[in-house]
Chains A and B, each alone.
Chain A
């Protein structure tokens, strides 16, 4: 699974990070780092939950990409 990050939309809610701190990395201001994220198999559930909790809809789940 891959998560497509729309950095411009991120407003630093940190909901993604709250669900899966190992998957989503925040900068010093608390906003997500740019660049899409490859999710390891074991992290998929929490990563998906984190992505779906983003209040800005900045994270899109791409389920077609393998880990």
Chain B
């Protein structure tokens, strides 16, 4: 494919050399797995530079992208879907195919049709109804941790089982295959190419089989809703059902777990904030927004549909444009002292869940999970810290994450 040839080619001719920077969310310092890393701080330094620059190796497969650093400019890109398209087939490309994940890789107007279909299922009102189940799950897991000692690996023992259970339940799946699903997600996001396509293939077959099953025997769950749904007066095609199923499966797999990991890691290292929040649980809702601002996890990529000069940079049709939430959320023009975590920050219009029509469909669910996770953790686990002799390993990439977080308490 031509696109892959572009990948290995040097900086394209239309990019002025003075706009090229040695920067990559995949390979810059702090981006590969790093002991005691702080990948968010590592990227925040771009604010000392220009509003837009070109990074020659800034995708998983080594392609160059423009990098938009200012929050205001990122909004402009993300709100202008006519110029900056989401049509990339990221997932299918791991299989050498080109079907889009729905709604992530569609542009308006098709995007709106599917968002209208899915929005009511993920609305804030609907998520409120799920709250008792989410809380019950958090309590069960934390009580088990508290009963079994004074130390645990937050990622393995709490964050992953919690987040993945909730969203499997949302999809209508039991969690006896939870570990397998988490493994697929890891391979897909962070594995090398062979592992990636194997994982992608497994997820596709799993979703296809599930859809077939729900067609035959409907139950009241998410996939049943999707196979029975109609858009523009017609049922969905098999590819559309797959596009939706795969996206929801992938999107909820490790984003929430990573957020909880970064949050508890911050609190473990900042005992004053930890104690303040424990004594003022009513402040957790706002504090969670600040933690989402300071430790967001997703980089968004767009493709230019036409030539456009953007803040002096010659973007050409087909160029990739990166809008990294971790960069926007540290923009000093929008947040006072952006590198300081201020759990009492009141007005916090961060973009952890994106801007524009692709605003995270699961954002209301994710927020409730994070808040409830923190509430129940702080209520049940006394003053905790990073266990001596252990060190969390963090990484950057397409989705930032934390691999292990071993805490202890007395």
Contact = CB atoms under 8 A, between A and B. Distances in A.
Interface in B274-295: 285
A64 to B, nearest CB: 21
B356 interface: yes
A49 B344 CA distance: 13
Interface string A16-56: 01100000001011110000000000000000010011111
B309 interface: no
A11 B363 CA distance: 11
A14 interface: yes
Interface string B261-285: 0000000000000000000000001
Given A15-B349, A52-B347, A53-B347, A9 B79 contact: yes
A29 B357 CA distance: 13
Given A13-B359, A15-B349, A30-B364, A56 B125 contact: no
B271 to A, nearest CB: 28
A53 B349 contact: yes
B124 A26 contact: yes
A55 B125 contact: no
A17 B124 contact: yes
A36 to B, nearest CB: 20
B98 interface: no
B353 interface: yes
Interface residues of B, number: 24
A17 B115 CA distance: 20
Interface in B336-373: 346-351, 353, 355-357, 359, 363-364
A40 to B, nearest CB: 20
A67 B123 CA distance: 30
A29 B346 contact: no
Interface string A53-65: 1111100000000
Nearest to B119: A29
Contacts of A12: 119, 123, 359
Contacts of B120: 28-30
A27 to B, nearest CB: 9
Contacts of A15: 349
Nearest to A31: B119
Interface string B47-89: 0000000000000000000000000000100010000000000
Contacts of B23: none
A56 B75 contact: yes
Contacts of B359: 11-13, 55
B79 A26 contact: no
Given A11-B359, A30-B119, A55 B124 contact: no
A28 B347 CA distance: 25
B364 A14 contact: yes
Nearest to A11: B359
A49 B346 contact: yes
Contact of A14 (B124, B346, B357): B124
Nearest to B126: A30
Interface of A: 9, 11-15, 17-18, 26, 28-31, 49, 52-57
Given A28-B125, A49-B347, 11 more contacts: A13-B359, A13-B363, A18-B285, A26-B124, A28-B119, A28-B123, A29-B115, A30-B123, A53-B347, A55-B353, A57-B75
Interface of B: 75, 79, 115-116, 119-120, 122-125, 285, 346-351, 353, 355-357, 359, 363-364
19 contacts: A9-B79, A11-B355, A11-B359, A12-B359, A14-B124, A17-B124, A18-B124, A29-B119, A30-B120, A30-B124, A30-B364, A49-B346, A49-B347, A52-B349, A55-B351, A55-B353, A55-B355, A56-B79, A57-B349
